[in-house]
Structure 1
Amino acid sequence: MQSENRFFDDFAKMMNGLAGTVAGAGREAEAQMREKAKGLFGGMDFVSREEFDAVKAMAAAARDEADALKARIDAIEARLNGAATPAEGA
């Protein structure tokens, strides 16, 4: 009976060691994949999220400014057209 317990104890220790080895190999494979991805994408011209958000905010501000300027131009044209109409009729 005691020999059976020893067998199972040894088997359990072996399985624990194998599980640790497999987990370590998985971590190593993940680290290698990360390094390969960094090497692959590192050479490309990607922008960071911060740069993208900054340009996006600047574009929105420029669009708002362009809308405001268009509204001012439309108001000036309306005043000029309103002032020019009576002068043409006189």
Structure 2
Amino acid sequence: MRARNRLFDDFARMANGAFNAFADVHTEIEQLVNQYFERFLAGHNLVTREEFDAMEAIATKVLNEQSALKDRLAELESQLRNFRMIALQRKPVPKELRRRWGFNFGERNVELKVQSNDADLKDE
């Protein structure tokens, strides 16, 4: 019986040693694979997770600002439409006042004639 127990003990020790050897090989292979991937990623100029998250936050901020600017532009365009409607409802400015103020109103464009007086500039 003792011979059998010894045989089983030897077999168990041998199996345990083989298992430890395989565990060491597994650890070594895992380290080699990790090193390979680190070199691969470093060589292909990829970003880290932190850099990606930072750029994602910046992009989100820019999109929010763009949305706010679109809303502001729509509001200003609406105000401009309202001002144009009010201007169309007003009476036209008499020719005498237009000449005095230097405005020449065409059908499609408004041209402002600025007349400078050098005598006024010298007084200052």
**Superposition TM-score tier, normalisation by shorter sequence:** 0.7 to 0.9
Instruction: Determine helix, strand or coil for the equivalent of 1:45.
Output: coil
Instruction: Determine helix, strand or coil for the equivalent of 2:35.
Output: helix
Give 1:10's aligned residue. 10
Cα distance in 1 for partners of 2:37, 2:87 equals: 72
After the TM superposition, which residues 1-40 of structure 1 pair with which residues of structure 2 at under 5 Å, given as runs? Answer: 1-40=1-40
Cα distance in 2 for partners of 1:6, 1:86 equals: 108
Cα distance in 1 for partners of 2:80, 2:4 equals: 104
Corresponding pairs, count: 90
* Structure 2 spans left out of the alignment, 5+ residues: 92-124
Ranked by relative contact order (alpha carbons within 8 Å, sequence separation 6 or more), the top structure is 2
| Structure with the greater alpha carbon radius of gyration | 2
Give 1:54's aligned residue. 54
Q: Which has the higher helix share?
A: 1
* Structure 1 spans left out of the alignment, 5+ residues: none
Report percent identity of matched pairs: 36
Cα distance in 1 for partners of 2:2, 2:80 equals: 107
Cα distance in 1 for partners of 2:86, 2:28 equals: 84
CA positional deviation for 1:86: 3.0
Deviations 1:34-78 (A, max 9, x none): 111111222111111111111111111111111112212211221
Cα distance in 1 for partners of 2:86, 2:15 equals: 99
Cα distance in 1 for partners of 2:52, 2:85 equals: 49
* Amino acid in the other structure paired with 1:23: A
What's the TM-score, normalizing by structure 2? 0.65
CA RMSD of aligned residues (A): 1.4
